[in-house]
Structures are given as structure tokens and as C-alpha cells.
């Protein structure tokens, strides 16, 4: 890494240090953890766009699937709900999969013509009604049991760490299904398709209460090992003696320690992903992907399977995004589908990639840490700055409105930063080599 890039990373590090010294270390670490998770997701987007030129804006959907994996893997099982209709739901899902498989088999086995079309249509329509006949009563039975506190089948009660790779697998499976149909589209149509599919995924999670309580939210998800609860730390004599010897507040020290543990875990995952991505980028596979990105016609003429490689990189990038989504839900300790929105989980991640430098993993890391800091700090300091600006104004609705709306300055700041970078450094702060 050249000195210029080291200076850029040093300046970003100074931003987090300044936040800790001037405001609070709890705030600085909270911003750092959120930025690390967004950076991991940005690396997945960078693989799709920077490596292969795939313009996918379905990041929000893959993030939500990662969060759903935490619910299905680490949440406590609801035995009564499962007994009421869990097996019926499982049977319905199996019947639905068999119907799709039968339709695919019929499409391949029957010669093209009206007979094939009618047969496939009959199989799909019949399978749909059979699926609904089994699925709907089972769902109603599950959601009717203790809907105030449960109403869902729960999870497997396994360690939260296991949910992280499962989140990647769920996102990868969805990416395979999407890619098999959508990757044949032109880049602009691919963006529209992935955006719509992401909205569908979030809508399903919101409305299917039997999975994760939908918009009722599911709280109390276990933390990943080795992160303890702050309350448990505050009751340990050894911890209390240690913080007392330094004159620290036990409550503040416990929250800082927990956030430091999260930062270490997220940083380790980020380092592993960068190591793997750098090796892939500098391998023959990486050179082939960039050749496909730069000229698909020439790559196809050289015998490369362009569509197959696009599908491969689309699945890999989506899996990384799913892992980031699972890590975020584990840290939050709750599944809140209403918080998934394209602005935060798609647009912001794309800004990180563009500002940092698409096609460069270290540039994406720099952009993720920088934009992550700006996104959250502007929200916090915006009202304070606006309070100084409007100090000379009389108290009234106008001043209150300006101060109250100041946190939305981050939208303006993101737009200005993006325009400035595109104008003066269109390839990003750390361009692709």
C-alpha cells in the first residue's frame, strides 16, 4: 500500500478518535461497528460490480435474509407453535418444491408445443392450490398460539455464530434463483429486477408472522460467543474490581468492552474476507472476471462462459452481504423488518463502493469506514450545528423546525460527497490498479 493510501486511512482513523475524545467512546465504537458491517456488505457489492460489472441493487433483500437466518438458527424454539402447525408448514414447502421440480422436468421431457405448455401450466397451477391448501391452515394454527409473545415457530436454539454462515447460504441460494433468470437481462433491467426482488423479500418477511413475527419484531436473540451481557459483567466481582482500580464507571466500561469485542469479531471477519478477495482478484480467476467485465464479447470469443461466471460472482457477492446481515441482527439482538429500507441498505452501500473506488478492495474498505462515520455522525451533530446557526433567531416554530430537521442533513451531505468525488476523483479515493 502506497503512502497516500496510508495517509487516507490514517485520516479516517483520526475521525473515529476525534469522536471518542470529543463526544464519547461509546458513540465512536457504535459508529465503528456499524461501519464495519456496512463495509463487509460493500465488499460483496464491489465483487459484483467491481469484478464483473453487475449492477445489482438487491443488497437490502440479501441483508434481510441474513437477519432471518439468525432468527431461524439461534432463536428459542416455540414448541407449542411448532406442534400446532409447524409440520404442516414444512410439508407445504416440500410440496411446493416438488411442484416446481415436476414443472421443470415436464418442460425438459416434453417436446416443444402446446402440450408442453398446458402440462407445465397444469402442474404449476395444481401445485399452487395444493400448496395453499396445506400451507394456509398450518400458518393460521401457528400464528394463533400465543400471538402476543410468540405466534411463530421460533428457531433451533443454536449458537448465534452458526447463523452467520447460514445467512450467507440463504443469500447465496436466493442469488442463485434470481441469477438464473435475471442475469440474462441488460444492466439497467437487472438493477430494476433486483430492486423489486429485494422489496419482495422484505415484504414476505414483514407479512409472514410464522417465520419471525413479522412487523411485531422478534427480540431477545442470543449474542454471539464470546460477547457477554452488560448486566452480567456489572455483577462480576473481578470486573468491578478492575474498573474501580482505574476509576471508571462500571456501566460505561461494560458497554465499551462489549462494543470492543464486537469490533474485534467484525474486524476479524473483514480481514478474512479481504484476504480471500485479494487472492481471488490477483488469481487467474480474477483476471478472467475483469476481462469479462471490460469486454464480454471478446471473453466469450475466447471460450469463457460469461453467463456462468456472472452467476458465480453474483452468488459469492450476495453470500458476503448475507453474512453482514446476519452479523448485524446478532449484534442488535432483534429482528426488525420495518428498519430494512433501500436508502440505508442499498444506496449507502453503493456510495461506499463508489467513493472508495470500485474494483479495489482496500478502496471499498476506506469508503465504508469514511461514509459509515459521516452517515451516523452528521445525524448526531446536525442538530447541534443547526442550534448554533439559529442561535440569533427568536424561539418559534421556524427555529424548532430547522433544529428538528437538521438530522436529515446527512442525506444532503451524502449527495454532496458523492458529487464531489465523481467530479474530482471519478475512479474513487483509491482507484483500481
For the chain, count helices (H), then strands (E): 20, 2
Do residues 75 and 218 lie in contact, with contact meaning Cβ atoms separated by under 8 Å?
Answer: yes
| Terminal CA-CA length for the chain | 11
Q: How far is CA 312 from the centre of its chain?
A: 19
Q: How many CB atoms lie within 10 A of CB 182?
A: 22
Sign of the torsion angle spanned by Cα atoms 39, 41, 45, 51: positive
Residue with C-alpha cell 449458537?
159
Residues contacting residue 292 through CB under 8 Å, at least 6 positions apart: 52, 53, 299, 304, 306, 309, 310
CA-based nearest residue to 277, from 5, 57, 46, 58: 46
- Copy the grid coordinates of residue 123: 402442474
Contact present, 427 and 355 (Cβ < 8 Å)? no
Please give the helix or strand (H or E) that residue 335 lies within, else none: strand 334-335
* Residue pair 139/210 in contact by the 8 Å Cβ criterion: yes
How far is 342 from 57, CA to CA, in rounded Å? 9
- Residue-wise pLDDT tens digits, 286-339: 888 888 888 878 888 888 888 888 888 999 999 999 999 999 999 988 888 888
User: Are 322 and 173 spatial neighbours (Cβ–Cβ below 8 Å)?
Assistant: no
Residue where the block lists cell 434463483 = 177
Q: Which residues of the chain have pLDDT under 50?
A: none
Nearest-angstrom CA–CA distance, 123 and 398: 63
Angle between helices 250-281 and 237-246 (to 10 degrees): 100
pLDDT value at residue 170: 93
Please state, in angstroms and rounded to a whole number, the distance separating the CA atoms of residues 380 and 261: 24
Amino acid at each position: 500500500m502506497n503512502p497516500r493510501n496510508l495517509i487516507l486511512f490514517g485520516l479516517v482513523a483520526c475521525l473515529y478518535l476525534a469522536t471518542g475524545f470529543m463526544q464519547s467512546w461509546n458513540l465512536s465504537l457504535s459508529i465503528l461497528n456499524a461501519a464495519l458491517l456496512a463495509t463487509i456488505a460493500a465488499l460483496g457489492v464491489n465483487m459484483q460490480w467491481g469484478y464483473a460489472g453487475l449492477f445489482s441493487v438487491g443488497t437490502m433483500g440479501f441483508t434481510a435474509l441474513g437477519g432471518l437466518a439468525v432468527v431461524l438458527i439461534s432463536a428459542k424454539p416455540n414448541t407449542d407453535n411448532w406442534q400446532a402447525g409447524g409440520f404442516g408448514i414444512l410439508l407445504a414447502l416440500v410440496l411446493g418444491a416438488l411442484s416446481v421440480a415436476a414443472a421443470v422436468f415436464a418442460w425438459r421431457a416434453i417436446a416443444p408445443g402446446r402440450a408442453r405448455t398446458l402440462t407445465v401450466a397444469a402442474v404449476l397451477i395444481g401445485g399452487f392450490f395444493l400448496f395453499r391448501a396445506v400451507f394456509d391452515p398450518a400458518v393460521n394454527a401457528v400464528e394463533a398460539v400465543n400471538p402476543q409473545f410468540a405466534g411463530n415457530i421460533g428457531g433451533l436454539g443454536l449458537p448465534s455464530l452458526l447463523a452467520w454462515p447460514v445467512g450467507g447460504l440463504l443469500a447465496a441460494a436466493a442469488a442463485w434463483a434470481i441469477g438464473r433468470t435475471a442475469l440474462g437481462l441488460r444492466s439497467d433491467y437487472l438493477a430494476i429486477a433486483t430492486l423489486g426482488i429485494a422489496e419482495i423479500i422484505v415484504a414476505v418477511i414483514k407479512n409472514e408472522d410464522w417465520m419471525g413475527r413479522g412487523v411485531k419484531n422478534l427480540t431477545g436473540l442470543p449474542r454471539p460467543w464470546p460477547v457477554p451481557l452488560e448486566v452480567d459483567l456489572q455483577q462480576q466481582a473481578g470486573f468491578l474490581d478492575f474498573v474501580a482500580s482505574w476509576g471508571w464507571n462500571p456501566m460505561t466500561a461494560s458497554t465499551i468492552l462489549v462494543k470492543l469485542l464486537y469490533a474485534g469479531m467484525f474486524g476479524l471477519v473483514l480481514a478474512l474476507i479481504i484476504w480471500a478477495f485479494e487472492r481471488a482478484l490477483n488469481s487467474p480467476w480474477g483476471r478472467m472476471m475483469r476481462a469479462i467485465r471490460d469486454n464480454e464479447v471478446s471473453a466469450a470469443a475466447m471460450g469463457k462462459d460469461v453467463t456462468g461466471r456472472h452467476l458465480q460472482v453474483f452468488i459469492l457477492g450476495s453470500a458476503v452481504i448475507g453474512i453482514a446481515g446476519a452479523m448485524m441482527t446478532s449484534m442488535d439482538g432483534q429482528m426488525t423488518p420495518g428498519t430494512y429500507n433501500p436508502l440505508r441498505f442499498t444506496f449507502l452501500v453503493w456510495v461506499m463502493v463508489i467513493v472508495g473506488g470500485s474494483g479495489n478492495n482496500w478502496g471499498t474498505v476506506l469508503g465504508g469506514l469514511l461514509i459509515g462515520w459521516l452517515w451516523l455522525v452528521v445525524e448526531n451533530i446536525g442538530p447541534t450545528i443547526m442550534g448554533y446557526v439559529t442561535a440569533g433567531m427568536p424561539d418559534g416554530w421556524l427555529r424548532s423546525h430547522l433544529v428538528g430537521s437538521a438530522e436529515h442533513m446527512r442525506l444532503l451531505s451524502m449527495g454532496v460527497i458523492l458529487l464531489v468525488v465523481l467530479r474530482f476523483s471519478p475512479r474513487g479515493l483509491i482507484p483500481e490498479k
